[in-house]
């Protein structure tokens, strides 16, 4: 299964992608996480991405497309869930070209819709583990022990781009450059809009209903073709 999660920064894409990856045995391919790893390793790509990420702008399409093609090539046969990519029309068109040529199209695009006030609260309360990338929230999805990662005991940090001024820029960038993808995937007939204002378990359940429905449909088509 090949899935794209769309939604504003802070909508909960990473949180849901991690769950979907576990539940369906998919790779979680997060462009933001890959860029943060590149930065931590001090690679050329990481250095080039730095100023764009810190200011809330997007990294250039050619760098991102090359980076994500590589990640997709290395994904297991079971498939993947894309988180934060594509984020511009050019990225979506390029992804479509590559997947169409290989006859492995995207099965579903899930758009998480969340009210603005909730988005701001989610981003200001987000804390992440710099070692394993786990994501928490200071009130909504707390670690077992305050300020410390459940998995490896590392002290949690606030992402520098969750600073209020950068958040404003990221939300404007999203409105301008990413929202056109909603129409793009709607026209392809693979868009599923999901109200993601509720708790993470509720959102998870609704997404799974959509994906399980697709899997059931696919199995009955396969049976009919036998
Ligand atoms: P994105 O990947 O879309 O930027 P994240 O998954 O990192 O968003 O979530 C942003 C913040 O909101 C994190 O602190 C996360 O723990 C929290 N969060 C995610 N989903 C929910 C939810 N359904 N309800 C409440 N908080 C959530
Ligand atoms: P995220 O972790 O998805 O919030 O992404 C963090 C930052 O990484 C963004 O604000 C961008 O600067 C950069 N980034 C992540 N994904 C992309 C993408 N698909 N295209 C361009 N820039 C990206």
Here the CATH number for the domain that contains residue 175 is 3.40.50.300
Q: Is the pLDDT of residue 216 over 90?
A: no
Q: Is residue 125 part of a domain?
A: no
- Domain extent for 191: 2-115+166-225
DSSP secondary structure string for all residues of 153-207: -PBPB--GGGSHHHHHHHHHHIIIIITHHHHHHHHTT-EEEEE--S-HHHHHHHH
pLDDT for the residue numbered 84? 98
Tell me the percentage of the chain whose pLDDT exceeds 90: 94
Q: Residue 187 domain-assigned? A: yes
2 closest CA partner among 100, 87, 109, 103: 109
Token pair for residue 154?
């590392």
Alpha-carbon distance 108 to 72, whole Å?
A: 16
pLDDT, residue 221, reads 83
Residues annotated as part of the active site: 13, 87, 126, 159, 170
Query: Distance, CA 75 to ligand 2 centroid (Å)?
Result: 20
Give the ligand whose atoms come closest to the C-alpha of residue 198: 1
Among 140, 166, 170, name the best residue to mutate to test ligand 1's pocket (greatest count of ligand atoms within 8 A of Cβ).
Answer: 140
Could you read off the pLDDT of 47-81 as tens digits, one per residue?
A: 999 999 999 999 999 999 999 999 999 999 999 99
What is the count of structural domains for the chain?
Answer: 1
d(CA 32, ligand 2 centre) in Å = 5
Does pLDDT of 226 surpass 90?
no
- The verdict on residue 150 lying in a domain is no
pTM: 0.96
Is residue 105 a part of any domain in this protein? Answer: yes
Asked if residue 51 belongs to a domain, the reply is yes
Query: What does the radius of gyration of the chain's CA atoms come to, in whole angstroms?
Result: 17
On whether residue 144 sits in a domain, the answer given is no
Ligand 2 centre distance from Cα of residue 170 (Å) = 9
């Amino acid at each position: 299964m090949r899935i794209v999660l769309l939604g504003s920064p802070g909508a909960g894409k990473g949180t849901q992608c991690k769950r979907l990856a576990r539940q369906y045995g998919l790779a979680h391919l997060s462009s933001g996480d890959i860029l943060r790893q590149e930065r931590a390793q001090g690679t050329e790509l990481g250095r080039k991405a730095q100023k764009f990420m810190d200011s809330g702008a997007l990294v250039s399409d050619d760098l991102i497309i090359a980076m994500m093609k590589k990640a997709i090539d290395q994904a297991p046969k079971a498939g993947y869930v894309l988180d934060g990519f594509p984020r511009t029309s050019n990225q979506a068109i390029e992804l479509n070209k590559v997947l169409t040529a290989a006859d492995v199209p995207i099965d579903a695009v899930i758009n998480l819709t969340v009210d603005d006030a909730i988005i701001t609260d989610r981003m200001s309360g987000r804390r992440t583990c710099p070692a394993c990338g786990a994501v928490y929230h200071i009130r909504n999805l707390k670690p077992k022990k305050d300020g410390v990662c459940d998995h490896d005991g590392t002290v949690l940090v606030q992402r520098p781009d969750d600073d209020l001024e950068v958040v404003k820029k990221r939300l404007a960038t999203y409105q301008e450059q990413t929202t056109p993808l909603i129409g793009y995937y709607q026209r392809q007939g693979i868009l599923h809009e999901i109200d993601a204002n509720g708790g993470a378990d509720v959102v998870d359940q609704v997404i799974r209903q959509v994906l399980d429905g697709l899997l059931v449909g696919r199995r009955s088509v396969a049976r009919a073709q036998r």
